[in-house]
Structure 1
Amino acid sequence: MQLDKFAKTAVQDIVGGAFNWRLWSWLGWKDTRLRYRRTLIGPFWQTLSMAIFVGALGFLYSNFWNMEVSVFIPYLTAGMTAWILINTIVTESTAIFVASTPFIMQKGMPYSTFVYQVIHRNVVVFFHNLIVFVLVMVVFGVYPTVSLLFLIPSLALFMLNALWVALLVGTLCTRFRDFGNLIVSILQIIFFITPVFWIPEQAGSRKVLFVDPNPFYHFIELIRAPLLGHPPTMMNWAVTIGTLVVGSCLTLIIFGRFRSRIPYWI
């Protein structure tokens, strides 16, 4: 069947890219170093920026939501750490193939190599940002529990989802350049309707509209819940695994179908 052929092409590229781990890990580190070249603290500028944001927003919104600062700021910090990881991967995926044009023009290069590069680079920044959460834990006396171990399968599931998202977004945005601007605009809206700096219960009866079916909320909870000392819920697991299955099937078809056209689109 034609669909089987497309899926096979996509799988071969994804597997080939995974075996290129020396290249994409080196490129990821190189990107990080070049981005912060000639700066004093390098990638920790983003960490400092997040710390300032969390500090300012935390003390302000804790009063708005009538929550204890010691409860709200750890919640906000964990949520922002997860959101920054999601936002940057999706945003950078919009230009993932265009930015890698010189490499793509070399025949035989698996295109997924550049997806792994983006994911690797942002996971490194994620662990830098975790420093802010550790400091918040120390300041407010939030201690890790055994539930922190759930962060390992949570990150693994997150990165599998990030793989298909980046491939799909990268393919579509290479063909239709306006999609990139549209996705960035949509992400700005999603940030405010997703419980990043507000708790789900505050949505009241609208929780079934803005929280329960919102995959971004469940991806955030995969990371935030273990950091705050409790495991993700069964709904968090179900939605993210379901998203992985549906999204992966769709991506295998679309990426496999149009992979050969990417060099012409860029």
Structure 2
Amino acid sequence: MSLLPTRRDWTLAGRDLTRGFAAWNIWFLLGVSDIRQRYKRSRFGQFWITLSMGIFIGGIGVVYSALFNQPVAQYIPHVAVNMTVWTLISGVVGDAANVFTQSAMYMRQDALPKTIFIMRLIIRNIVVFAHNVVIVPLAFIIFGIIPTPLVFAAIPGLIIVILALFLITLILGVLSTRFRDLAQITQNALQLLFFITPIMWRSDQLSAGRQIIVVLNPFASLLQLVADPLLGIEPQPHTYIASFTFIAFLLVLALPLFARFRARLVYWL
């Protein structure tokens, strides 16, 4: 049996993507409903997202600024921006392995486009991101930081990040539905990525010989596309090059994989 997708596989996969994106009302409502269900009957409701992140950033910012000997007024805004962006990235990647298994009830009942469930996951995490991003201007106001016009460069950076996350979810969703251990592997990999990605530390703190840690980490490039403009730093050309190279790699892997095994997903649930 060939592992390469046939012409029919490509046609059905393309139709799935087209119909899935067009059904924005379904995946938007599903994503928002997930957040509402998570905080159902809670007194503060969805504001717990912002409150929890604010407490985390405040606590970690004070402790780590002392450990790294960094001024609190500079370090906490740095952590606020990077943690907000990283939470979006890690939230999508961490849930990507279960994107189809969590939607098994819908997939078994109706032949809905599989793309709907990927977008449901992304929308759910974008809603969380929207709650968390409120902390960034609050941190700027508290510590007297004036944003620069570079903040608008974070918008195309965010679009690039979402595209990469969509492809990552496509890959992990298909593979993890077949190989369930991949979900645990992904969680462990995210823990490692957290420490080797410039979230709690700045890349310029590394010596020249250790910059390779950031250069070879595609998630560092994705993080910097959004975080750097918010901090008034212009993303370097190599950051865009690394991000687009990573997306090209994901495209080459994700599209044939989805086309070939899309129809088998419901049997693997």
| TM-score interval, normalised by the smaller of the two chains | over 0.9
> Secondary structure of 1:99's partner?
helix
1:202 maps to which residue? 205
1:47 maps to which residue? 50
Deviation for aligned residue 1:198: 0.7
In the alignment, the residues of structure 2 paired with residue 66 and residue 235 of structure 1 have an alpha-carbon distance, to the nearest angstrom, of 29
Deviation for aligned residue 1:9: 3.5
TM-score by length of 2: 0.94
Greater Cα shift, 116-125 or 44-53: 44-53
Q: How many residues align?
A: 266
Residue by residue over 1:59-104, the C-alpha shift from the partner in whole angstroms, topping out at 9 and shown as x without a partner, is 1111222221111111111110011101110111111101111211
User: Runs of at least 4 residues of structure 1 off by over 2 A?
Assistant: 1-12, 205-209
In the alignment, the residues of structure 2 paired with residue 15 and residue 242 of structure 1 have an alpha-carbon distance, to the nearest angstrom, of 24
- Pick aligned residue for 2:97 from 75, 94, 99: 94
2:59 maps to which residue? 56
- Pick aligned residue for 1:36 from 16, 35, 39: 39
Alignment gaps of 5+ in structure 2: none
Contact 1:200-1:207 at 8 Å conserved across structures? no
In the alignment, the residues of structure 1 paired with residue 110 and residue 229 of structure 2 have an alpha-carbon distance, to the nearest angstrom, of 43
Residue by residue over 1:108-152, the C-alpha shift from the partner in whole angstroms, topping out at 9 and shown as x without a partner, is 310010100111111111011011111101101112211111121
Residue by residue over 1:172-195, the C-alpha shift from the partner in whole angstroms, topping out at 9 and shown as x without a partner, is 110000000011011011101111
1:27 maps to which residue? 30
Deviation for aligned residue 1:36: 0.4
1:10 maps to which residue? 13
Q: Is 1:81 aligned to residue 84 of structure 2?
A: yes
How is 1:166-245 mapped onto 2 (pairs within 5 angstroms)? 166-245=169-248
Alignment gaps of 5+ in structure 1: none
2:138 maps to which residue? 135
Contact 2:6-2:260 at 8 Å conserved across structures? no
Identity of aligned residues (%): 35
Contact 2:61-2:72 at 8 Å conserved across structures? yes
1:147 maps to which residue? 150
